[in-house]
């Protein structure tokens, strides 16, 4: 078994009882995906909006806010996954990921059964791969990465921590995304291109040149639009 296969196999070593940190639309798909995975028991969702407490997301109850994490741990919860997505700013996802770690919870990965992940790919802890997504050979995802519905990550790509390839996004071979980078819905990044840390690629764009860190690009071909707000 190759080293990449070993790393990928680690995703099956999931904690039984987990909590989802953050509600909303993204959490609906996360929770729905978990229902297909026998090894993971999602006991509920945490969100800071009191108006959501007592309601449900895809059948999972919203239990309260982060303050109850110690109580959940005493009840046998040992894992978590981030339940918020991003339109461009991945810092809130990073914050929640680090929050779960600070509480001593273990991040788990969630991969929809309709996704295609090469046995020679690497899926980092806490990452989510949604329905019909493709992760090809020698691609590597860092921690807390989103590969959204029908997105394609081709061979030899590297996706930095807390990055996001939105629905229908396509990364051609050997693309590199920096930490917290965001590739918008339906965008294409051509082979060998580097998208820098915290950079944003607008929806539907075609990226042919490297994207500097902290910038927003859009269009066909993608061009500089502005700097990412601090």
pLDDT at 36: 93
pLDDT tens sequence across 29-67: 999 999 999 899 999 999 999 999 999 999 999 999 999
For the chain, the residue count is: 230
111-223 topology per CATH: UDP N-Acetylglucosamine Acyltransferase; domain 1 (2.160.10)
CATH 2.160.10.10 spans which residues of the chain? 111-223
Angle among Cα 198, 155, 161 to the nearest 5 degrees reads 25
CATH 3.40.50.20 spans which residues of the chain? 13-108
pLDDT at 226: 97
Q: Is the dihedral of CA 168, 169, 172, 178 positive or negative?
A: negative
pLDDT at 12: 41
Q: Give the CA radius of gyration of the chain.
A: 17
Do β-strands 128-129 and 110-111 pair in parallel, antiparallel, or remain unpaired? parallel
The average pLDDT across 102-111 equals 96
- 8 A C-beta contact, residue 123 and residue 141: yes
Residue 1's pLDDT band (boundaries 50, 70, 90)?
A: very low
pLDDT at 87: 83
pLDDT at 197: 98
CATH architecture of the domain with range 13-108: 3-Layer(aba) Sandwich (3.40)
Provide, rounded to the nearest whole percent, the portion of the chain with pLDDT above 90.
89
For residue 139, the Cα-to-chain-centroid distance in whole angstroms is 15
pLDDT at 16: 76
Q: Is the dihedral of CA 55, 58, 62, 63 positive or negative?
A: positive
For residue 189, which of 167, 221, 212, 163 has the smallest C-alpha distance?
A: 221
Do β-strands 176-177 and 79-82 pair in parallel, antiparallel, or remain unpaired? unpaired
pLDDT at 2: 38
More confidently predicted of 87 and 108:
108
For residue 33, which of 67, 57, 6, 63 has the smallest C-alpha distance?
A: 57
Residue 72's pLDDT band (boundaries 50, 70, 90)?
A: very high
**Would the pLDDT of 99 be above 90?**
yes
């Amino acid at each position: 078994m190759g080293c990449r296969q070993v790393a990928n196999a680690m995703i099956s070593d999931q904690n039984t009882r987990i909590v989802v940190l953050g509600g909303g639309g993204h959490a609906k798909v996360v929770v729905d995906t978990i229902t297909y995975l026998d090894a993971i028991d999602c006991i509920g969702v945490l969100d800071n909006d009191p108006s959501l407490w007592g309601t449900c997301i895809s059948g999972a109850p919203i239990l309260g806010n982060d303050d109850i994490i110690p109580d959940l741990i005493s009840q046998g919860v040992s894992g978590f996954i981030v339940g918020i997505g991003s339109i461009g700013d991945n810092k809130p996802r990073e914050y929640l990921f680090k929050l779960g770690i600070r509480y001593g919870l273990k991040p788990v990965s969630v991969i929809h059964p309709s996704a295609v992940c090469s046995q020679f790919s690497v899926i980092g802890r806490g990452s989510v791969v949604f329905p019909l997504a493709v992760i090809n050979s020698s691609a590597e995802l860092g921690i807390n990465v989103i590969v959204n519905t029908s997105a394609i990550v081709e061979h030899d790509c590297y996706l930095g921590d807390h990055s996001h390839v939105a629905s229908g996004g396509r990364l051609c071979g050997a693309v590199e995304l920096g930490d917290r980078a965001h590739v918008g819905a339906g965008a294409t990044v051509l082979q060998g291109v580097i998208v820098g840390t915290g950079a944003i690629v607008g929806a539907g764009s075609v990226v042919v040149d490297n994207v500097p860190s902290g910038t927003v690009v859009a269009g066909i071909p993608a061009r500089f639009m502005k700097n990412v707000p601090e």
